[in-house]
Structure 1
Amino acid sequence: MDRNTIKDTGILEQYLLGELSEEQSIEIENILKEDKELREYFSKMEDDMEQMALENAITPPVHIKTAILNEVENPSLIGKEKVIISQARKKVSYNFAIAASLATLFLLSSGWLYNQWKDTEQTVITLQEETNDLRDRLVNLENNYEETDKWYQAINQPEVVQLILKGNEKSPNSSAIAYVNHQNKEVILNPKGLSKLKNDKTYQMWADVDGEMINMGVISANQEMITMKYIENAASLNITIEPVGGNDHPTVEQLISNVYL
């Protein structure tokens, strides 16, 4: 058994009260010989129990004192008075045992109450952490709801035109949805249907105005809805594959989708 186990289980108190078997007592004695800190702890426990026994001791009856004095003055009473002294000692020992038992019970109860307090404290901490986590999740849900509602309101206006950009032979599984509001001059893109690219590539959107491709912005595949740059008098919307960070002019051979306005 290690030091903390010995302290927590109350085996030292049992040893002090003589409640252990001979084998257990020898084991405790050997441990006390080898462990100075535990030996000091045990000595203090002895002192505390002795002090408690003294504080709770019952004052012997007056006749015991008289009997002792008579023994000193009258040797003929030695045999009889020895019995009285022996009985008195037994009574003191009995009182000490009671006080020591009460002290042991107090120490064990204190240890149990301390452990209960620590368990309760940990439960409170756990509940607080769970409460904080739940609050954070609710905040995130509220933010997501507000974000979703904002996009929903934006794309469900009567003047919004919905355009589907389907992938060509270069990216047949790709698709995106553009919501164009000429009145508010807004373009919102849902890029979730675009195929995943390598880490060094990205999608970019362009508006064709009189044969000139004008940059509308890089498309982030990690977002569900993106606000793109609105371009006046655009004839079509086009998506190309470009190097990460985008390009200042479209790579025509990497055009994967376009739709006419």
Structure 2
Amino acid sequence: MEDIKAYIESGILELYVLGDLSPEERLQVETMASEYPAIMAEITEIETSMEFYAAEHAIEPSEALRNKVLNSLLINLGDDTIFTKPRKHTDEEQFEDDDHNVAQLHTGKSTNFYKYAFAACLALLVVSTFALVNLYNQLQDSNSQLTAVLQQKQQFANRVNLMDRELDMYRDPSIKVLKLEGMPKTPSSAMTVAWNPANKKVMVDMKSMKLPKYDKQHQYQLWALVAGKPVDLGVFDTANPGDDTALIKEMKPIASAEAFAVTLEPRGGSINPTMDEMVVIGKL
């Protein structure tokens, strides 16, 4: 099947329709067309396209020119001398007459036909190119729309998953929910920490968090007080307004704790908490 496709695309069928093949090549094309319906259909389509182009671009002669040609034909047909029997010639005269009567090949009509055929092929090429470009643009638009839909679907799935996890913070009896309150210098600060001693998970409610603003060189760091010593539970940034995909944040696990607190530290966190920068604290 690939060989037939390559044969069709080789351009030999167009040359066949134009009559620009040798007898051997024409016989080969006709043999292939009789064996493969696809080749015969392609030849028919090429002929139809060329006929359609010629009909579309045909020039209707004026009425005066039409009458002139018809009158000329009638006059010539009425002239009996045109059909008189020629006299016999001597051999020398016959040779000279043969030289003068040699039919001259008029290539004008053939050249015009080639021009029309080439123009038809060029027009088909332009139309096909335009159609392919238009189809490609439509496919690109469809792919962009599909990508956007998939992204929205993934965001929605993430929101549902995070909302389920947030609900688990309050409906699981094994989870302890602790409200951290602001320090004297930040009395309006507050946040919620959920801790499950069974699986050691610690989660921060990002949506209800109320902490002071800070610069890009700092981050908040969560601490757990264990046997009177602070234990690092990781750093976090406050959630962006309208970001529903960051409802909760899971921190480092811990098995036991007496209290939880948050301090403002240099970005990346500190080994020990900066006590002067403590913003909220909550005891169990």
Q: Same fold (TM over 0.5)?
A: yes
Aligned match of 2:153: 138
C-alpha distance in 1 between matches for 2:108 and 2:223: 100
Answer with 100-109 or 117-126: which moved more.
Answer: 117-126
How far off its partner does 1:153 sit? Answer: 2.6
Instruction: Indicate conservation of the 8 Å contact 1:202/1:220, yes or no.
Output: yes
Q: Secondary structure at the match of 1:114?
A: helix
Task: Indicate the structure whose relative CO is greater, using CA pairs within 8 Å and at least 6 residues apart.
Answer: 2
Instruction: Indicate conservation of the 8 Å contact 1:213/1:249, yes or no.
Output: no
Identity value in percent: 16
Q: Secondary structure at the match of 2:250?
A: strand
Identify the match of residue 203 of structure 2 among 188, 197, 200: 188
1:196 to 1:224, Cα distance in 2 relative to 1, 3 A: farther
C-alpha distance in 2 between matches for 1:252 and 1:231: 24
Identify the match of residue 218 of structure 1 among 223, 231, 234: 234
Does residue 73 of the first structure (1) align with residue 97 of the second (2)? yes
Q: Secondary structure at the match of 1:135?
A: helix
Identify the match of residue 200 of structure 1 among 194, 197, 217: 217
Aligned match of 2:167: 152
Q: What CA RMSD, in Å, does the superposition of the two structures yield over aligned residues?
A: 4.0
Q: Secondary structure at the match of 2:212?
A: coil
Give the partner amino acid of 1:207: A
- Residue segments in structure 1 that go unaligned for 5+ positions in a row: 1-47, 57-66
C-alpha distance in 1 between matches for 2:189 and 2:235: 13
Instruction: Indicate conservation of the 8 Å contact 1:219/1:226, yes or no.
Output: no
Instruction: Indicate conservation of the 8 Å contact 1:216/1:230, yes or no.
Output: no
1:227 to 1:118, Cα distance in 2 relative to 1, 3 A: closer
Give the partner amino acid of 2:256: E
Aligned match of 1:252: 275
1:175 to 1:72, Cα distance in 2 relative to 1, 3 A: farther
How far off its partner does 1:182 sit? Answer: 4.2
How many aligned residue pairs are there? 191
Does residue 240 of the first structure (1) align with residue 252 of the second (2)? no
C-alpha distance in 1 between matches for 2:202 and 2:226: 15
Large movers: runs of 4+ above 4 Å: 51-56, 69-72, 182-185
Aligned match of 2:83: none
Give the partner amino acid of 1:118: V
Post-superposition Cα deviations, 1:56-103, rounded to whole Å, max 9, x if no partner, equal: 9xxxxxxxxxx9x9894289xx8xx8xx97xx84xx534542442233
Question: TM-score normalized by structure 2?
Answer: 0.52
Question: TM-score normalized by structure 1?
Answer: 0.56
